[in-house]
A = this chain, B = another copy of it.
């Protein structure tokens, strides 16, 4: 039993925030594990917008979704998440929740990582489309050289969010070696644009 696991916590947040029929975003589809979770949560009447910069991520995610019979509600795009606002589907939607896995694609090129600058750009675009009470969940893998820098930039940004506009919280292990991943969660408190 692992009551305190980081991934179960991230998924329980998504489960709390997402209803059938909602539109949600997987900002880093990777191998599609979270895309599948989101596709189940929104159901056939919902929409999952998924993006990833690497073609292999789209291939493996598409295969995973088809195998589970959950591909119909998912639209995948080979773009970096900092370009979400270029997607008509995105800019015409109200978003209930979004998830990021920050770091590199497991099993892929470890030189291709998310960065603080592009992650923060994506958070801002998401925030402006998020409904009141909507949630952005980030699972931060920072055990690689670029990871420390991204972690620090992300935390500095999130700590600066005005508390009347957003709740921002972290969930992390504090007695583990080897840079365990941790969760950053941001809830939109009021209708506003950053």
Contact = CB atoms under 8 A, between A and B. Distances in A.
A184 B161 CA distance: 23
Interface residues of A, number: 32
A39 interface: no
Q: How many copies does the complex hold?
A: 2
Interface stretch (A26-34, A58-66, A110-118, A165-173): A165-173
Contact of A158 (B167, B169, B175): B175
Given A2-B187, A135-B3, A172 B173 contact: no
Contacts of A168: 173-175
B3 A133 contact: yes
Contacts of A159: 174-175
